[in-house]
Structure 1
């Protein structure tokens, strides 16, 4: 039984991870910090405050986290204004799934950027609930944002299907007790142990159909 479907945003509906990496890499370099080999993987899923602290302290930016967050989000907003990196089939997939189930959005993006994307794609009204990890105590891989979205939707987490791409996102949705559909990003593939948590692995959004979701995973 499925009562709702909860989408991630970055890496699932928009191809934003390369943009986030470019923007944050450049910001760290300009501030005299040092980008580490595993930085991008670690950053995927962090809440705004978490990644701002990470850039400030661990990567050597040395500016207050609130300044780091504001600077980076401003740069991301400008990039989105120039070109929104929408993934092929994203809008169609949301409409297709939304014709069958209520939809939620559980994203690590700041609320400002979530609003920008949903408005630009005309999907604002498709999502009954859209939440950022800014609104919960912990970012992914903690389950907080998924549990909060399920709560606002008025459904049990175990009757939700989550659509994710990243290691931390897969871990978060699984920890929330949701059935998990993975659509791995080829440039930022999830770690094998995280991918193993998925009940269904798809090759792209064109495969995200009502029929596929109806058959996902363990019973609720």
Structure 2
């Protein structure tokens, strides 16, 4: 059975609006300037990368303090409820029931991944989970997906990734994986990134074992 590796933000959790709200407010409060392209650039960056980028926007704090401040605000939001994407838990369970080895390759910090998976009951479905904090480079580099495949003990070329963002699609494709795109309506991927997908589905309700097999 083809292993499937999910992204988290924008695929399983409708977190991009929350990330944008939290980081935009943090930048404003600490003297920075949010640019029109900021949100699209941030999507897929590792914690260290986006913290350094916010410092470049004029936030008057060291990147380490930027990261800890933003992550704590995100964790607080999640403690009041995790905004799962429609059909997220059902899609993961559906693939698990068909004996698909499942992994996760996320740009979120480890602390937030664990909060989300524990709070939603999704943790039990995944053989391996990776934060881009734990690899050298964030998306669009392939490091996170390659690490997830390595921890699962599978060949990256045998895997199907499920992604939503431009950088995520580029990352999975660079890892040599087939990619199923589930574009977020509020944050659609760039056309060139979407072209890397083997299949495009409108929502997780359409992510079936048959779609995975066809993509592979």
Pairwise TM-score range, normalised by the shorter structure:
over 0.9
Give the number of equivalent residue pairs.
215
Structure 2 unaligned residues grouped into runs of 5+? none
Q: Which residue of 1 aligns with 2:70?
A: 72
Aligned 8 A contact 2:169 2:197 in 1:
yes
Q: Which residue of 2 aligns with 1:31?
A: 30
The answer as to 2:53 corresponding to 1:60 is no
Q: Distance in 1 between matches of 2:122 and 2:84?
A: 12
Q: Which runs of 4+ in 1 moved over 6 A?
A: none
Deviation at 1:62?
2.4
The answer as to 2:26 corresponding to 1:49 is no
Q: Distance in 2 between matches of 1:72 and 1:137?
A: 21
Q: Distance in 1 between matches of 2:188 and 2:7?
A: 15
Aligned 8 A contact 2:2 2:213 in 1:
no
Q: Deviations over 1:57-80 (max 9, x none)?
A: x21002111100000000000111
Task: Give the TM-score taking structure 2 as reference length.
Answer: 0.98
Q: Deviations over 1:201-220 (max 9, x none)?
A: 00000000011111115xxx
Q: Which residue of 2 aligns with 1:137?
A: 136
Q: Which residue of 2 aligns with 1:10?
A: 9
The answer as to 2:172 corresponding to 1:164 is no
Computed over aligned residues only, the root mean square deviation of the Cα atoms, in angstroms, reads 0.8
Deviation at 1:44?
0.1
Q: Which residue of 2 aligns with 1:121?
A: 120
The answer as to 2:96 corresponding to 1:98 is yes
Aligned 8 A contact 2:178 2:198 in 1:
yes
Q: Which residue of 2 aligns with 1:85?
A: 83
Structure 1 unaligned residues grouped into runs of 5+? none
Shifted more, 14-23 versus 74-83: the winner is: 74-83
Aligned 8 A contact 1:9 1:105 in 2:
yes
Q: Distance in 1 between matches of 2:93 and 2:47?
A: 28
